[in-house]
């Protein structure tokens, strides 16, 4: 893609917020340069877009603003990635078909693919996102949620999956730090310019991510972290990854919105259950109740089973540790259960209490002695201490 087209994509993202459907449709039909010319000439196809373009152009020349942003990004060590570049993540194109049920808010309607990404970090963007999982959740995370997110981030990164989140306090930070601790890749998708990381309290974390992973944003350097931009950003987190895990969320949460976008894209949408007494569990539990496609997960093995290749990443069945008595057949179990806990009894009494013949009782008692579940004393048989502790 030539320099004029790249600059036009930056300018269009400045004129209208990312995801604007009519802009994306024009770019798809006319190309970025012709679309920019059309909008600047007042030819936007809808009133709200014309108003947005008029407001922005009153503040400056779109091409000059874009050129300044490109220069600023270069000084920052950031690069512009656009469709057609080798490192462009093709999976975000699926946003073109995203239609959320009962969508009325602008942020739920304007969900088309990005026109460009600003990227800071050593990894090619497409490669980093090819095997990636989003881990999202509440900013006001509980110790339980932070622990789970850290374990998920560590476990996924340790298995060479990229951990993607939004860089916020709480669950996002815990997931990023878990991945960094494992020495793996993590990607923070921001809702502001890469030179204005938000929250500022995570500035050191963002620097660490940029060294070994990626910082990514649709907004040019200098862009402010306005509230609607976090909701716009969430569609990218859902579309760029193979699946999204919600760790904790209150009843009204942007994290549940990310999960709903994953569901709309028919990507794996996973929820970690929490204590029913916690307000931070309400959002996730409601998703599990209302969305049949959402899956409950309790750890890395469950997540990989959802996002991995069929048959290659099955989670082991949850089961208690095997006990010696688990290997017993029905007759041996009957004989063992027939023995009293406090005193020995004779062979005939064992057989009668167990409902088996003497020969069977004798064979099973001998086997139970070898397993250290039965002991012989005072002319009879009694439970061994191991059998008493076992059950």
Q: What is the pLDDT of residue 388?
A: 60
Which of 315, 118, 312, 152 has the alpha carbon at shortest distance from 220? 118
pTM (2 decimals)?
0.84
What is the per-residue pLDDT across 173-219, written as a single tens digit (0 to 9) for each?
Answer: 999 999 999 999 999 999 999 999 899 999 999 999 999 999 999 99
What is the per-residue pLDDT across 129-145, written as a single tens digit (0 to 9) for each?
Answer: 999 999 999 999 999 99
Which of 262, 264, 200 has the alpha carbon at shortest distance from 237? 262
State the Cα–Cα distance between residues 236 and 81, nearest whole angstrom: 14
State the Cα–Cα distance between residues 154 and 268, nearest whole angstrom: 20
Q: How confident is the model at residue 101 (pLDDT cuts 50, 70, 90)?
A: confident
Supply φ then ψ for residue 296, to 5 degrees.
Answer: -85, 130
Please state whether beta strands 132-136 and 162-165 pair in parallel, antiparallel, or not at all (unpaired): parallel
What is the per-residue pLDDT across 213-234, written as a single tens digit (0 to 9) for each?
Answer: 999 999 999 999 999 999 999 9
């Amino acid at each position: 893609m030539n320099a004029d087209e790249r600059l036009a994509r930056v300018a269009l993202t400045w004129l209208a917020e990312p995801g604007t459907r009519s802009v994306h449709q024009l770019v798809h039909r006319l190309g970025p340069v012709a679309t920019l010319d059309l909008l600047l000439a007042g030819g936007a196809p809808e009133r709200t877009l014309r108003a947005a373009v008029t407001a922005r152009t009153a503040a400056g020349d779109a091409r000059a603003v874009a050129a300044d942003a490109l220069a600023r990004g270069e000084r920052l060590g950031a690069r512009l990635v656009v469709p057609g570049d080798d490192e462009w993540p093709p999976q975000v194109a699926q946003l073109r078909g995203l239609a959320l049920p009962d969508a009325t808010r602008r942020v739920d309607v304007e969900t088309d693919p990005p026109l460009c990404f600003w990227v800071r970090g050593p990894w090619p963007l497409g490669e980093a996102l090819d095997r990636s999982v989003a881990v999202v959740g509440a900013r006001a995370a509980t110790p339980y949620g932070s622990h789970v997110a850290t374990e998920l981030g560590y476990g996924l990164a340790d298995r060479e999956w990229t951990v993607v989140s939004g860089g916020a306090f709480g669950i996002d930070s815990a997931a990023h730090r878990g991945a960094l601790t494992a020495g793996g890749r993590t990607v923070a998708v921001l809702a502001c310019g890469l030179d204005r990381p938000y929250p500022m309290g995570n500035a050191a974390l963002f620097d660490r991510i940029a060294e070994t992973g990626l910082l990514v944003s649709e907004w040019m350097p200098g862009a402010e972290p306005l509230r609607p931009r976090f909701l716009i950003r969430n569609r990218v987190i859902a579309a760029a990854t193979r699946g999204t895990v919600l760790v904790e969320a209150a009843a009204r949460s942007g994290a549940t919105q990310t999960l709903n976008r994953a569901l709309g894209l028919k990507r794996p949408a996973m929820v970690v259950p929490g204590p029913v007494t916690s307000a931070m569990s309400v959002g996730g539990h409601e998703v599990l109740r209302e969305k049949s496609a959402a899956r409950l997960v309790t750890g890395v093995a469950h997540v990989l089973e959802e996002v991995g290749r069929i048959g290659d990443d099955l989670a082991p069945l949850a089961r208690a540790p095997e006990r010696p008595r688990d290997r017993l057949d029905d007759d041996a179990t009957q004989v063992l259960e027939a023995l009293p806990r406090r005193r020995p009894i004779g062979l005939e009494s064992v057989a009668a209490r167990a409902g088996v013949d003497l020969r069977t009782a004798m064979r099973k008692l001998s086997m139970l002695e070898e397993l250290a579940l039965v002991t012989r004393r005072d002319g009879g048989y009694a439970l061994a201490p191991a059998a008493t502790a076992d059950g």
